[in-house]
Amino acid sequence: MLVRKIETIVVESHHTKSFYFKGGFHADPGQFVMVWIPGVDEIPMGLSTIGENMGITVHRVGEATEKMHALKEGEKIGIRGPYGKGFDILGRKLLVVAGGTGIASLMPAVETAVEQGRDVQVAIGALTKDELLFAERVRKAGAKIEIATDDGSEGFEGFVSNLAEELLSNENYDQILTCGPEAMMKKVIEHGMNHKIRTQVSLERFMRCGIGVCGSCAFDGLRICRDGPVFDGEEVYGKGDFDTYRRDPSGKRIPLLPDV
């Protein structure tokens, strides 16, 4: 495990902060790290920034993320990884569909794809405009952006999956990358199938080892940590666990909460 000092903390919204630390390792867009919060827990986090300085973007939902939010610049965290299979960035024209904190895991793919000369359209969705993440960073990267908010406080009023459907009806894309609530990703996969476009999805489940040994993140015969977290949409679509169940720390299957 690497011990890293938190160099910078950026408050992104009322429940989300980004933490930047010196990397010293290579990571691919879509990979994740196990973050050890001293005295608390180790939790999986997608890398929201990849490079000399690495970043993670943490939505406060429970005990570990609450403790992470309480950390100050200069304090230390442990980093294990990077782990898992990231996004295959292929094709000339990409549609990136992000729901909520999902944009965090997608951001390095957006930046890499633009740097590689690809045409990138991003659709970001959030409950309200105050919860939108990284809109400015997407613009700065040189990607096109469309915004959807559930309450209509900015951009398209409604689900980002509906906005994605509109974009897919108006333009031809070679690939779709998506991360967010599974109900949203399920719709995006369906739109991709209708337009015969490959969709890659990034999934989240409770994790313990992060390296495929413990089985905590088992998902219908797949291990999210080792076989994913990025999968081909068609590989997970229709699986019994997709958009239906997660596992608690004891391994018990429980209905997936719609808002995480």
Residues at the interface with ligand FAD (CB under 6 A): 32, 41, 43-46, 57-59, 61-65, 101, 104-105, 204-207, 224, 229, 246, 257, 260
CB 73 within 8 Å of CB 19: no
Measured from the CB atom, the residue of 187 and 247 that comes closer to ligand FAD is: 247
Shortest distance, position 209 Cβ to ligand FAD, whole Å: 12
Q: Nearest approach, Cβ of 174 to ligand FAD (angstroms)?
A: 25
Measured from the CB atom, the residue of 67 and 129 that comes closer to ligand FAD is 67
Pair 125, 181: CB distance under 8 Å: no
Task: Report the residue number, 149 or 202, with the smaller CB distance to ligand FAD.
Answer: 202
Q: How far is the CB of 248 from ligand FAD (least distance, A)?
A: 6
- The nearer residue to ligand FAD, 193 or 218, going by C-beta atoms, is 218
CB of 151 to ligand FAD, least distance (A): 22
Residue 206 beta carbon to ligand FAD: minimum distance, rounded to whole angstroms: 5
Closer to ligand FAD by CB, 16 or 121: give it. Answer: 16
Q: How far apart are CA 122 and CA 138, in angstroms?
A: 8
- Residue 236: name the closest of 191, 161, 177, 182 by CA: 182
Residue nearest to ligand FAD as judged by C-beta position: 62
Distance of alpha carbon 114 from alpha carbon 151, whole angstroms: 30
- Give the nearest distance from C-beta 170 to ligand FAD in angstroms: 30
Q: Contact at 8 Å (CB) between 5 and 74?
A: yes
Half-sphere exposure of 123 (CA within 13 A, CB side): 27
| Residue 41 one-letter amino acid | D
For ligand FAD, which is the closer residue by CB, 177 or 197? 177
Phi–psi pair at 113, nearest 5 degrees: -60, -40
Residue 229 CB coordination number (10 Å): 27
